Amino acid sequence: MSSSGSKRPLVFVGMSGVGKSHLSRVLGRGGFTVFDVDETIAGKLASLVVPEPGELPVYALGRWMGMPWTEGFAQREAEYLALEERVTVASLERALSTEKASVIDTTGSVIYLSPELRARLAESCRIIYFHTPESDRERLREQYLRDPKPVCWGGLFRRLEDETPRDATERLYPELLSTRDALYRELAHEIIEGPELRGITTDALCKRLTLT
């Protein structure tokens, strides 16, 4: 895709942990209005699950959604995506109505939202995909198994006969990342290697994104 117009709302997409939220906050310090989809979902979490005392919202959501091999996962995944769709639509509406420069910090599962919403994002915003390099993908898999956060699989998880959940995850997680990579690339106007922006300042980020 091609995009023009630096005044369009920015949309950051990519895998969880690649740095989208950090880079959104960097722009926020430079005067951008930040629409954090994850944070807004956390504020509406009561519609799905009530966090236990001291439990962070993201872990409450992960506990509620469960792992892809647990009973009822597909239904809970669909309920989560329906909530994410509503939150993303609201964020887009607010970004388009503000006169200030803005950025929408999406979740990793934005590519599973409705085709209509994805098309609208592509038409009205400048979408930047922060790519997770191959060297970082093993870390993401181990982190997912060790410390589960909500991850949508889009129907990719299929256990073989007599295969343990961990073995299935180790086999399929690379496929999940590859599939997502293709979908992010299809949605995005630009691709940037996530690690190259670690520690970047607001001024440097604006220059990197040709915002100044």
Distance CA 57, CA 135 (A): 29
Tell the residue number behind the tokens 């670690």, with chain if given: 198
Lowest mean pLDDT among 41-50, 102-111, 117-126: 41-50
- Tokens, residue 109: 């599962």
192: which strand partners? 130
Closest CA to 149 of 41, 57, 36: 57
Task: Note the pTM of the prediction, 2 decimals.
Answer: 0.89
Assign domain 10-208 to a CATH class. Answer: alpha beta
User: How confident is the model over 66-96, as pLDDT tens digits?
Assistant: 889 999 999 999 999 999 999 999 999 999 9
CA angle 103, 108, 112 (to 5 degrees): 105
Residue 1 has pLDDT above 80, yes or no: no
Residue 185 has pLDDT above 50, yes or no: yes
